[in-house]
Amino acid sequence: MTDEQVLKLVSEIRREQQVSPSLPDTNFISYVKQGEFDINEVAGCNINYETDLHARELLKNYVLYANHKRLAEFKELYLPEYVTLQLRYNRDTNIS
């Protein structure tokens, strides 16, 4: 994601999750970048979070859980979404 896209997502997260304005954007920017890396690594590709709204929602939830220091719980609860992304983006075939 570009810096502009990250800031747009941070703003969206703040609005949706009613985050206190006293929390710095730097925390959320870091969470978004960590989440993007984590989700892309599992999916096996760079996801376009502007067009894939399922992945975007997963990323926003990642940030919510990261902000509350509950990523282990997030990974457990959202495992099916990770599997869905793996299936959607990892299309290895032997078709010539």
Per-residue pLDDT tens digits for 13-41: 998 988 777 777 899 999 999 999 999 99
User: b or e along 50-68 (b: 16 or more beta carbons within 10 Å of the residue's beta carbon)?
Assistant: eebeebbebbbbbbbbbbe
Predicted TM-score (pTM) of this structure: 0.87
Q: What pLDDT digit, counting tens, does each position of 49-63 carry?
A: 999 999 999 999 999
* Residue 70 and residue 27 in contact, taking contact as beta carbons nearer than 8 Å: no
Please tell me the predicted confidence (pLDDT) of residue 77: 96
> 68 pLDDT exceeds 60?
yes
How far is the C-alpha of 71 from the C-alpha of 64, rounded, in Å?
Answer: 9
Token pair for 90:
């990892």
